[in-house]
Structure 1
Amino acid sequence: MTEISEQLNIHVIHISTDFIFDGKKGNYKETDIPNPVNYYGASKLNFEAILTASAIQNTILRTTLVYGKVPQVTNSNIVLWVKKMLEEK
């Protein structure tokens, strides 16, 4: 994928996750050191590293919860959050 993206000058948007962090600190910043605790987080972090090491123009979006609801999580997923913001504003 990286070779084709570089050849065709394609801007890649990678939807990553906050699962690249272990969750101990919370309120992570882009500059915080990742520490994935599962395969999903590690695979997302690995692809982030591939993108940033390449010459590909890229954007990395780290979401918290893309869809669905988790009982222990007070934040809604990104789709419901955007919907709510559009309705309110």
Structure 2
Amino acid sequence: MKPDIQNIIKFIIHSLPEDSIVKRNLENINSGKWRSRAYYQFIDSAHPNTPGSKWIFKENIILEHPQSGTIVLDILEKDQPGGIEFYELI
């Protein structure tokens, strides 16, 4: 069963530092869609890490959710959330 993404987003927002740009971007993000059983994507990853792509990877934020376990937030350039991977569902 897929996690409740809205509750996961709230958890992530609550877990990030108050002055985090990622937090502000996540609070204002448009909805995404499930790309697999274990990955919820906000930004299209077509042609990743190439000039002109919307998906230019910067870093990961790894959090432990009490019910869903390890979640990995992909952060793109300009501190945009790219997607959420649910490690326990891989």
Structure with greater contact order relative to length (CA < 8 Å, sep ≥ 6): 1
Q: Which has the higher strand share?
A: 2
State the TM-score, normalized to the length of structure 1: 0.24
Higher Cα Rg, which structure? 1
After TM superposition, the score normalised by the length of structure 2 is 0.24
